[in-house]
Amino acid sequence: MRQILILGAGKSSGVLIDYLVEHAATQDWHISVADISRELALQKTKGRASTTAIGFDFYNEIKREQLIGKTDIVVSMLPAAMHTVIAEECLQLKKHLVTPSYISDAMKKLNTDVKRQQLVFMNEVGLDPGIDHMSTMQILDKLKAEGAEIIGYKSHCGGLVATESDTNKWHYKFTWNPRNVILAGQGEGHIQYLKNGKKVLLTYGELFTHTSEVKIKGHGKFESYPNRDSLKYVKEYGLHQVKTMYRGTLRVPPFCKGWNTLIQLGFTSRKEMPTVEFLNFVTHRAKDKNIIADKSTLHLLQEIAILPLLNKHRAKIIIPFEFLQSVLEQSWKLHEHDKDRVVMLHEIDYKLKRKKYTLQSSMVYTGKDAHHTAMAATVGLPVGMVVKLILNNQIKKRGVLMPKHAEVYEPVLNELKSYGVIFKENVVN
């Protein structure tokens, strides 16, 4: 019996576990789910045959090595910062690895050794990154095979609340790790993209002022803000000749305007400071008409009651982003019958037989409720599908990889269609 070890039983793990259990009997799998809370792991495995729930402390090196040593493949659904430690142990113990997270510089350095051991360390295989790469490469490979020259690429993706569950002025509720939302744009590397042949390099403070409007037929208007470093995908996608290269995150207006205000007021800072000092800073900044420029911005702040709650904060020391997270987790909670939606759009400009075209490929996927979310499905399903491909030796490439090759994207995108994750294409000239 082949052993699968899932580390972390968070929001996206439920759909992943359900998928693997669904295929366990025919594939001869046993699925172990390890989490700091064995209770949570048990909730996700539901005591089903072919599953084991395990209490797991990431920092217990002996237990960690024992768990990895007994498995055939590790799926790390832990925070991204923990992946490298897991990867190093998978390398040492000769185990395959799958993560939905971006490939870090530390992970990239393992590539030569991973290849030497004939292992697959597949990263960036969730939604964004993940389905975005697969759907992009399927289009690009097809266009290039037809003789097209790609001249511009824009891709946008967002985890949003479904229209029928949209009940606040920000048009947003948490469907993913709240901390990742609060700290968006503060990760490693540059915030940069290519626009009409010119490189645009942004600071974190500028990020939410550089938005563009995006329309998807039948789904309305969105705003897109730059997502990390778009330029590294020039090489990954083989788009060295493009004039525009942009990857963005989608929100519904006026989210970005309100979020930029929270940044300017200091609420996303990771710096620990005396509460009195921070309160004085925010009070002073809130009087600046360039920061709270109009009534609509003030109404956004009033809805989440951020300023009154700060005034009531009694702790002597504050870490602003943690305070903001605690406030928003109440204001933007996904309630029992709320639905979320995932929205993705690719816009690809190309030349073919001396004519210019734009191909638009869009995917909108709606969740069932607060427990069966679109976000969990679109992260968990492709992870599970890639695990199946690796265990069945259907992925021939070795090393630290992302899912940009046909041997990965063709079967995964094809199987995703059966779950309702479908892209619609439209070509205009």
Sequential pLDDT tens for the chain (429 residues): 999 999 999 888 999 999 999 999 999 999 999 999 999 999 999 999 999 999 999 999 999 999 999 999 999 999 888 999 999 999 999 999 999 999 999 999 999 999 999 999 999 999 999 999 999 999 999 999 999 999 999 999 999 999 999 999 999 999 888 998 999 998 767 899 999 999 999 999 999 999 999 999 889 999 999 999 999 999 999 999 999 999 999 999 999 999 999 999 999 999 999 999 999 999 999 998 889 988 999 999 999 999 999 999 999 999 999 999 999 999 999 999 999 999 999 999 999 999 999 999 999 999 999 989 999 999 999 999 999 999 999 999 999 999 999 999 999 999 999 999 999 999 988
Rounded-to-integer distance, Cα 117 and Cα 400, Å: 11
User: DSSP letters along 361-383, please?
Assistant: EEEEEE-SSSSS-HHHHHHHHHH
Tell me the C-alpha distance between 176 and 11, whole Å.
Answer: 7
pLDDT attached to residue 188: 67
Instruction: Give the Cα separation of 216 and 345 in Å (integer).
Output: 8
- Is-contact 76 104, C-beta < 8 A? no
In the prediction, which pLDDT does 275 show?
96
How many CA atoms lie less than 13 Å away from 68 in the CB half-sphere?
25
Instruction: Spell out where 220-322 has E strands.
Output: 220-226, 244-251, 273-274, 317-318
Rounded Cα–Cα distance for residues 136 and 346 (Å): 7
Half-sphere exposure at residue 377, Cβ-oriented, CA atoms within 13 angstroms: 22
| pLDDT for position 402 | 97
E strands, 23-105, in order: 29-35, 51-55, 73-76, 96-98
For 171-174, the CB contacts below 8 A with 24+ separation are 171/251, 171/252, 171/253, 171/255, 172/251, 172/252, 172/255, 172/332, 173/332, 173/333, 173/334, 173/338, 173/340, 174/328, 174/329, 174/332, 174/333, 174/334
Domain architecture of the chain: domains with CATH: 2-123 (3.40.50.720), 131-366 (3.30.360.10)
Residue with the two structure tokens 């996608």: 237
What is the C-alpha R_g of the chain? 22
Tell me which residue of 332, 321, 311, 43 sits closest to 168, measured CA to CA: 332
The token pair that represents 128 in the structure block? 């964004």
- pLDDT reported for residue 159: 96
Q: Which long-range contacts (CB under 8 A, 24 or more apart) does 78-84 make?
A: 78/7, 78/8, 80/104, 82/58, 83/107, 83/123
CA angle 230, 235, 241 (to 5 degrees): 90
pLDDT of residue 176: 81
C-alpha 262/C-alpha 272 separation (Å) is 17
Beta strand pairing call for 120-122 and 220-226 = unpaired
pTM: 0.93
Peptide bond into 274 cis (omega under 30): no
